[in-house]
Amino acid sequence: MQSKRNLKKYNNRNNLLLIIIGIVLILAVVFGVVLYNNHVEAQKQAKAFATNHFNPNVNIYGVEVGNLTINKATAKINRKANNMVSLENGKVALEYDPSSKTIKKREVAAYFKKQHTTMPNKQSYEYRNTDLDAANKKMQTMSHAVVNYHVAGKVYKLKAQKLINQAIYRKGKYTFLNSENLTAKLNKIDQDVSTIHQSYSFAVPKGNKVAGKKISVKNQSYGWGVHVKRAQAAVEQAFLNGTKNLDGKNYIYGLGYSTYGLGYGLNNHGIGDDYIVVSLQKQEMWIVRKGKMVVHLNDVVTGTKDGNKNNRTPQGVWYIHYKQRHAVLRGRNNDGSKYASPVSYWMPFTLTGCGFHDAGWRGDWSKKAYLRGGSHGCVNIKPREIKQVWHNVSKHEPVIVYD
């Protein structure tokens, strides 16, 4: 009897256990199905999210854009990323310029395509502004650059660290905002080497001799100086490009008809071995070619000395502007009346209209003709002698006029 009761209890317990196990299994299956469905849905959502959002660990141009859309990433980069390199007083720094657009939407889209995965992942992606990095490196190098500026046989060492006050790289361009130290340095070099308006000792011809007595002459339009603006631009580019040497001959200027400097690198104070000399007192003219006398005219007539000073032939060192056949020289006489003088050969050497020409109308070729009856400033030459002058005179050749 007791055994039957115990067996019944045992069976009841087993049945209860089976029921519990069954319930647990059912719950597990249900829970598993729910978890699976949630997982599938989460994957679906994550996959959808990844189609238009960056992965979590993405950095573009130093700005975190993880989990952002292309539009929001573009806006954030343009709001926060460094986009300019500045050099100021020898120090280089990356900076943000709000007036400059750092990146375009299509560029951000290209980066998005590079990092895109079907499902989000925690891999790190970094995309640097290679242009800005290169500019930063270039600016760092430039800040220590040294250029040897060769001019008139001298060498000037120009150091960017001392001469460039401020420069920037922005929107793909390098701009020098302040180079006043460089400007001052080039102005000083110009003062050291310029030959414009400089005086020097020069041996003028005497009779048929090339070198007679020495006199002091002064360059007027003849000569050259440092074209500071052009030289400065060249030095700045040399600093940027790493150019070590610059030839100052390429950055000079002149006065008068030609704006390019004359006499650079020539001997004889820049006069060289080809030149023309006119003596006002002697009323003589000489042409020297390759250091030898080729023309000597004993009787020329220069500008009228007495009366209106504007009629005098100006003293100093000038140069032949050009050569012209069959010109008509026009101007005004002292009484205000106009004149028009046809000439066969015309070689001007001043901007005021002084030059060499034939004067077939002139009857007085005496040594004193220029005192009261000279020209309006030109050097009159006899028609029979003008051809030898014409054939031995060259454009840009120096003309020395002395008393």
How confident is the model at residue 335, as a pLDDT?
87
Instruction: Report the pLDDT value the prediction gives residue 351, as an integer from 0 to 100.
Output: 95
Instruction: Give, for 203, the enclosing helix (H) or strand (E).
Output: strand 199-203
What is the sign, positive or negative, of the torsion defined by CA atoms of 183, 189, 193, 199?
Answer: positive
Long-range contacts of 139-144 (CB under 8 A, 24+ apart): 139/85, 139/87, 139/92, 139/167, 139/169, 139/174, 140/92, 141/242, 142/87, 142/167, 142/239, 142/240, 143/87, 143/90, 143/91, 143/92
Q: What's the sign of the alpha-carbon dihedral 115, 121, 122, 123?
A: negative
Of 189, 135, 132, 185, whose CA–CA distance to 161 is shortest?
Answer: 185
Which residues face 357 on adjacent strands? 346, 380
Determine the Cα–Cα distance for residues 10 and 20; give it in Å rounded to an integer: 15
How far lies 277's CA from each of 27, 55, 266, 286, 299, in Å? 121, 85, 17, 5, 13
- Residue matched to tokens 């070729």: 365
pLDDT at 45: 79
DSSP state of 211: -
Which pTM does this prediction carry? Answer: 0.83
Mean pLDDT, rounded, for 160-186 = 96
CA distance to 163, 240, 366, per residue, from 261 (Å): 26, 27, 37
Summarised one tens digit per residue, pLDDT across range 16-58 is 666 777 676 666 655 665 565 555 555 787 688 889 999 999 9
Q: What is the reported pLDDT for 40?
A: 57
What is the full DSSP assignment across 104-162? Answer: -HHHHHHHHHHH--SS-----EEE--HHHHHHHHHHHHHTT-EEEEEETTEEEEEEHHH
Tokens describing residue 300: 């020329």
CATH code for the domain defined by 144-253: 3.10.20
Query: Strands 275-279 and 398-402, how do they pair?
Result: parallel
Find residue 215's DSSP bridge partners: 202
Q: Could you give the CA distance from residue 397 to residue 391 in angstroms, rounded to a whole number?
A: 13
Q: What is the pLDDT of residues 311-355, one digit of tens each?
A: 999 999 999 999 999 999 999 998 889 999 999 999 999 999 999
pLDDT tens per residue across span 93-119: 999 999 999 999 999 999 999 999 999
The pLDDT of 131-148, averaged and rounded, is: 97
At 365, the pLDDT band (50, 70, 90 cuts) reads very high
Q: For the chain, what is the mean pLDDT?
A: 93
Q: Is the pLDDT of residue 386 over 80?
A: yes
Region of residue 386 (left: phi > 0; alpha: psi -120 to 50; beta: else): alpha
The pLDDT value recorded for residue 19 is 73
Contact between residue 101 and residue 27 where contact means Cβ atoms under 8 Å apart? no
Give the model's pLDDT for residue 35. Answer: 61
Whether 227 contacts 249, CB under 8 Å:
no
Q: Which CATH class is domain 275-402?
A: mainly beta
Average pLDDT over residues 269-279: 98
Q: What's the rounded mean pLDDT across residues 395-401? A: 99
Question: What pLDDT does residue 14 have?
Answer: 65
For 237-266, what is each residue's pLDDT tens digit? 999 999 999 999 999 999 999 999 999 999
- The contacts of residue 255 (CB under 8 Å, 6+ apart) are 196, 220, 221, 223
User: In angstroms, how far is the first alpha carbon of the chain from the final one?
Assistant: 162
H or E stretch including 268?
A: none
Distance separating alpha carbons of residues 356 and 302, to the nearest angstrom: 9
